[in-house]
A and B are shown apart, each in its own frame.
Chain A
Amino acid sequence: MSDLGVGRPTKRRAGSAVGGLPVADPRPTFDGGAVLGTRCAECRYPTAQQELPWCPVCYGAMDDARFARTGQVWSSTVVAIPVGTHRPPFGLAYLDLDDGPRVLVHLAEPAVLELGARLEITGTDDGNLLASREVQ
Chain B
Amino acid sequence: MEQAMLWGVGTSAYGRFPDRRVESLAWTAVAEAVRDAGIEPGEIDAIIVGSVFGPPGVATRVQRGLGIPGVPMWTVENACASGTSAYHEAVEAVRLGRFGCVLVLGVDQMSTLFSGAIVPEATDPEGASSLPLPGLYALQAQRYVGEFGVTPDQLAAVAVKNKRNGTDNPRAQLRDAVPTVQEVLDSRMIAEPLTFLQCCPTSDGAGAAIVGGERGNPNDLRIESSVLVSGALWDHRSEEAWGYASVARAAEKAFAEAGRTSREIDVLEVHDAFTIGEIITLEALGLAPRGKGAELAPSGYTTRDGVQPVNPSGGLLSRGHPLGATGMAQLAEISWQLRGRAGARQVARHRVGLVETMGGGAAGMDGNACVITILSTQS
- Given A83-B130, A100-B236, A128-B129: A75 and B124 interface contact (C-beta under 8 Å): no
For B146, the chain A residues whose CB sits under 8 A away are: 75, 114-115
State whether A46 touches B236 (Cβ < 8 A). Answer: yes
Q: List 19 A-B contacts (CB under 8 A).
A: A13-B113, A14-B123, A15-B122, A15-B123, A18-B122, A26-B123, A26-B125, A27-B125, A49-B125, A75-B140, A77-B192, A80-B189, A85-B130, A92-B139, A104-B126, A104-B129, A104-B131, A106-B129, A128-B130
Number of A-B residue pairs at CB separation under 8 A:
136
The reply to whether the CB of A81 lies closer than 8 angstroms to some CB of chain B is: yes
Residues 178-233 of B contacting A (Cβ, < 8 Å): 188-193, 233
Identify the 6 closest CB pairs spanning chains A and B, nearest first: A15-B122, A2-B115, A77-B138, A75-B143, A115-B146, A80-B189
Task: Please list the residues of chain A having a beta carbon within 8 angstroms of any beta carbon in chain B.
Answer: 1-4, 10-11, 13-18, 20, 23-28, 46-49, 56-57, 74-81, 83-86, 90, 92-94, 96-97, 100-102, 104, 106, 112, 114-115, 127-129
Q: How far is the CA of A97 from the CA of B236 in the complex (A)?
A: 8
- Given A77-B138, A83-B132: A20 and B122 interface contact (C-beta under 8 Å): yes
The reply to whether the CB of B147 lies closer than 8 angstroms to some CB of chain A is: yes
The reply to whether the CB of B62 lies closer than 8 angstroms to some CB of chain A is: no
State whether A74 touches B143 (Cβ < 8 A). Answer: yes
Dominant SS among interface residues on chain A:
loop
The reply to whether the CB of B128 lies closer than 8 angstroms to some CB of chain A is: yes
- Given A23-B122, A112-B142, A115-B143: A96 and B236 interface contact (C-beta under 8 Å): yes
Residues 148-196 of B contacting A (Cβ, < 8 Å): 188-193
For B233, the chain A residues whose CB sits under 8 A away are: 56-57
Q: In the complex, how many angstroms separate the beta carbon of A19 from the nearest chain B beta carbon?
A: 9
State whether B115 touches A83 (Cβ < 8 A). Answer: no
For B139, the chain A residues whose CB sits under 8 A away are: 74-77, 92-94
Q: In the complex, how many angstroms separate the beta carbon of A60 from the nearest chain B beta carbon?
A: 15
State whether B235 touches A102 (Cβ < 8 A). Answer: yes
For A85, the chain B residues whose CB sits under 8 A away are: 130
Residues 2-21 of B contacting A (Cβ, < 8 Å): none
Q: In the complex, how many angstroms separate the beta carbon of B277 from the nearest chain A beta carbon?
A: 15
A96 and chain B: residue at smallest CB distance? B236
Q: In the complex, how many angstroms separate the beta carbon of A90 from the nearest chain B beta carbon?
A: 8
Q: In the complex, how many angstroms separate the beta carbon of B27 from the nearest chain A beta carbon?
A: 20
Beyond the given A26-B123, A78-B191, A128-B130, could you list 4 further A-B residue pairs with CB under 8 A, ordered by the A residue number? A47-B364, A75-B139, A81-B134, A114-B146
Q: How far is the CA of A134 from the CA of B1 in the complex (A)?
A: 60
- Given A46-B236, A76-B139, A83-B130: A4 and B125 interface contact (C-beta under 8 Å): no
The reply to whether the CB of B135 lies closer than 8 angstroms to some CB of chain A is: yes
Q: In the complex, how many angstroms separate the beta carbon of A44 from the nearest chain B beta carbon?
A: 12
Residues 234-256 of B contacting A (Cβ, < 8 Å): 235-236, 238
Q: In the complex, how many angstroms separate the beta carbon of A74 from the nearest chain B beta carbon?
A: 7
Q: How far is the CA of A4 from the CA of B113 in the complex (A)?
A: 8
State whether A83 touches B135 (Cβ < 8 A). Answer: yes
For B130, the chain A residues whose CB sits under 8 A away are: 17, 79, 83-86, 90, 106, 128
Q: Which of A27, A28, A79 contacts B138 (CB 8 A)?
A: A79
